[in-house]
C-alpha cells in the first residue's frame, strides 16, 4: 500500500515550481531596472527603502515612436537626477566630477538662509540645462565665466536648477514649491523640447497606472519589480497610440506668464532664453523662425492623407513652435529675452553640428559657445 501524502505537503510541492519561477522573475526584473536606471539601488532593495517614484521613474528614458530610431532627440537615456558621478571628458581625456547639492542643484552651492552678500542667478530648464557634462564643462559654468564676479557689491552665484524631462508645467511647480525659497535675484528659463513630453506614450501609461484604485496594486507597484514590469508591459501592449501633432500652446502661455508673475512677486527678474537645436532656419521651405508658419505647416501635414508620420520632423517643428511662440508671449508682456537663434543660424551645418551630440543636447564645445553667447547677453542686460 502506498504511503498517503499529506495534502499540505502536496500543495507546497505543487506550488514550488511556480514560486521558483516568480522569484527568478523578480530577481531578473530588479537587475533590469537597476541597470536601466543608472544603477539605482532602490530597485534592488525595494520595498525596504523606496524613495519617491518621480525620482525613480522612466521619464528620462523615452522609447522611440513607431519605426523611429534616427533621432537622439527621440530616444535619450539620461542619468538619474541628483546623483554624483564621474563622466569622461573627451576634450580633457580624463574622468571629471558631475555633482549635485542636497537640493538637487548643480553649479554654485546655496543655502536656504540667503547670504546677503550673494547675488543668485538660477537657471531653469530640462536636460539641456541640467547637462550631461562635468561641472567644469557644463553650460552654466561657461555662462558664469562671462559675468563679473561682483554685481551691486554682491558676489554672483549661478545655480543650475535644470531637471531632465521637465516641461514648463513641472518647472513652474518646482519654482513655486522649492526654488522661490532661496530668494533668487535673476531667474533664467530655457526650455522648449519638453513641451512634447505630455504626448509621450510613457506619460499616458504612467497616468493610466496612477489612476488604478486597487489596494493590491498599491501594495505591489514599485515594491515588486516583477509586478511593476508586467503592469507596464500590459499597458504598452494595450494602450492605443496617441500621436503628437501640436503642443498645448495655451498651456505653455499660461505656465510662462504664471512663472514670470511668481518670479516678479518674489523680487527677482525673469529672463527667457531661446533654446537652439541642430536644425537650419529654413526647413523644407518653412521659415521656422515664424511660429505661425510652423503651425500652418504642421496643420497641413496633419490634413495630408499622403503624409507618412515622421516623428523627428514633427518633433523639430514643435520645438521651434514652442520657442517662437514663447518669444511672442515675452514681447507682448515685456518679459526680457536672450535670443541666440540668429547666432547659431549663422553657422554652417558642419560648425553647428559640432555644438550638439544629438539634435538638441550640447557637446562640450556647444556648452562653451552657447554659454558664452548667453553670458555676454546677460551681462549686457544686467548693466542696463
Q: Is the pLDDT of residue 148 over 70?
A: yes
Q: What is the pLDDT of residue 295?
A: 97
Q: What is the pLDDT of residue 42?
A: 76
Q: Is the pLDDT of residue 309 over 50?
A: yes
For residues 19 and 348, the model is more confident at 348
Question: Please, which residues bridge with residue 107 across strands?
Answer: 159
Helical packing angle, 168-177 and 249-265, nearest 10°: 20
Exposure on the CB side of residue 175, measured as CA atoms within 13 A: 30
Mean pLDDT over all residues of the chain?
87
Q: Is the pLDDT of residue 66 over 50?
A: no
Q: What is the pLDDT of residue 182?
A: 97
- Using the structure block, give the residue that is written with the C-alpha cell 561657461: 142
DSSP string, 148-174: -SEETTEEEEEEE---TT--HHHHHHH
What pLDDT band is residue 141 in, cutting at 50, 70 and 90? Answer: very high
Q: What is the pLDDT of residue 2?
A: 52
Q: What is the pLDDT of residue 77?
A: 46
Give me the phi and psi of 232, to 5 degrees please: -65, -40
Q: Is the pLDDT of residue 11 over 70?
A: no
The whole-angstrom separation of Cα 288 and Cα 295 is 9
The whole-angstrom separation of Cα 155 and Cα 28 is 51
pLDDT in tens, 336-357: 999 999 999 999 999 999 999 9
Q: Is the pLDDT of residue 6 over 80?
A: no
Global pTM value: 0.82
Return the minimum-mean-pLDDT range out of 92-106, 160-174, 227-241.
Answer: 227-241
Q: Is the pLDDT of residue 245 over 80?
A: yes
Give the number of other CB atoms < 10 A from CB of residue 202. Answer: 18
- Signed CA dihedral, 233, 239, 243, 248: sign only: negative
Q: Is the pLDDT of residue 63 over 50?
A: no
Q: What is the pLDDT of residue 41?
A: 77
Return the minimum-mean-pLDDT range out of 24-33, 63-72, 218-227.
Answer: 63-72
Range 51-68 average pLDDT: 39
For residues 62 and 174, the model is more confident at 174
Q: What is the pLDDT of residue 84?
A: 86
Range 362-375 average pLDDT: 97
Q: Which of the listed ranges 46-50, 54-58, 210-214, 341-345 does the model predict with the highest average pLDDT?
A: 341-345
Q: What is the pLDDT of residue 218?
A: 86
What pLDDT band is residue 64 in, cutting at 50, 70 and 90? Answer: very low
Domain spans, the chain: 85-198+243-383
Q: Is the pLDDT of residue 86 over 70?
A: yes
- Long-range contact pairs involving 80-85 (C-beta distance under 8 Å, separation at least 24): 80/37, 80/38, 80/40, 80/55, 80/56, 81/55, 81/130, 81/163, 81/164, 82/55, 83/38, 83/40, 85/38
Q: What is the pLDDT of residue 282?
A: 95
Range 21-29 average pLDDT: 91
Instruction: Tell me the CATH number of domain 85-198+243-383, given options 3.40.50.1100, 3.40.50.1110, 3.40.50.920, 3.90.1580.10.
Output: 3.40.50.1110
Q: Which three cell numbers stand for residue 237?
A: 501592449
Q: Is the pLDDT of residue 74 over 50?
A: no
Q: Is the pLDDT of residue 19 over 60?
A: yes
Q: What percent of the chain has pLDDT over 70?
A: 87
Q: Is the pLDDT of residue 59 over 50?
A: no
Helical packing angle, 311-332 and 291-303, nearest 10°: 150
Return the minimum-mean-pLDDT range out of 38-52, 208-222, 228-242, 313-327.
Answer: 38-52
Q: Is the pLDDT of residue 168 over 80?
A: yes
Q: Which three cell numbers stand for residue 68?
A: 523611429
CB burial of 14-33 (b: ≥16 within 10 Å; e: otherwise) equals eeeeeeeeeeebeeebbeeb
For residues 8 and 341, the model is more confident at 341
- Signed CA dihedral, 209, 169, 340, 137: sign only: negative
Q: What is the pLDDT of residue 71?
A: 37
Q: What is the pLDDT of residue 1?
A: 47
Amino acid at each position: 500500500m502506498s504511503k498517503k501524502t499529506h495534502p499540505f505537503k502536496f500543495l507546497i510541492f505543487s506550488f514550488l515550481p511556480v514560486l521558483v519561477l516568480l522569484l527568478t522573475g523578480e530577481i531578473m526584473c530588479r537587475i533590469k531596472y537597476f541597470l536601466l536606471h543608472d544603477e539605482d539601488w532602490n530597485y534592488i532593495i525595494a520595498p525596504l527603502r523606496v524613495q519617491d517614484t518621480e525620482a525613480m521613474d522612466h521619464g528620462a528614458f523615452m522609447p522611440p515612436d513607431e519605426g523611429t530610431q534616427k533621432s537622439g532627440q527621440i530616444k535619450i537615456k539620461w542619468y538619474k537626477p541628483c546623483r554624483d558621478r564621474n563622466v569622461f571628458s573627451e576634450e580633457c581625456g580624463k574622468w571629471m566630477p558631475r555633482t549635485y547639492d542636497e537640493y538637487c542643484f548643480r553649479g554654485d552651492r546655496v543655502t536656504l538662509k540667503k547670504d546677503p552678500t550673494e547675488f543668485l542667478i538660477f537657471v531653469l530648464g530640462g536636460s539641456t540645462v541640467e547637462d550631461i557634462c562635468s561641472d567644469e564643462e557644463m553650460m552654466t559654468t561657461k555662462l558664469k565665466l562671462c559675468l563679473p564676479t561682483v554685481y551691486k557689491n554682491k558676489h554672483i552665484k549661478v545655480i543650475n536648477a535644470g531637471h531632465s524631462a521637465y516641461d514648463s508645467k513641472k518647472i513652474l511647480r518646482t519654482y513655486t514649491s522649492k526654488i522661490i525659497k532661496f530668494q533668487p535675484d535673476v531667474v533664467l528659463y530655457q526650455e522648449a523640447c519638453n513641451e512634447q513630453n505630455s504626448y509621450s506614450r510613457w506619460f499616458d501609461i504612467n497616468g493610466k497606472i496612477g489612476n488604478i484604485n486597487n489596494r493590491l496594486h498599491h501594495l505591489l507597484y514599485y515594491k515588486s519589480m516583477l509586478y511593476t514590469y508586467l503592469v507596464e508591459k500590459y499597458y504598452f501592449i494595450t494602450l492605443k497610440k496617441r500621436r503628437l501633432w501640436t503642443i498645448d500652446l495655451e498651456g505653455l502661455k499660461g505656465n510662462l506668464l504664471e512663472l514670470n508673475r511668481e518670479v516678479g512677486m518674489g523680487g527677482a527678474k525673469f529672463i527667457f532664453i531661446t533654446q537652439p537645436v541642430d536644425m537650419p532656419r529654413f526647413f523644407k521651405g518653412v521659415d521656422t523662425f515664424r511660429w505661425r508658419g510652423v503651425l500652418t505647416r504642421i496643420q497641413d501635414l496633419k490634413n495630408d492623407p499622403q503624409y507618412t508620420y515622421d516623428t523627428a520632423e514633427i518633433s523639430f517643428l514643435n520645438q521651434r513652435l514652442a520657442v517662437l511662440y514663447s518669444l511672442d508671449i515675452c514681447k507682448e508682456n515685456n518679459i526680457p529675452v536672450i535670443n541666440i537663434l540668429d547666432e547659431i543660424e549663422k553657422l554652417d551645418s558642419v560648425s553647428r553640428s559640432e555644438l550638439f551630440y544629438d539634435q538638441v543636447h550640447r557637446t562640450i564645445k556647444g556648452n562653451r559657445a552657447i554659454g558664452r553667447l548667453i553670458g555676454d547677453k546677460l551681462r549686457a542686460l544686467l548693466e542696463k
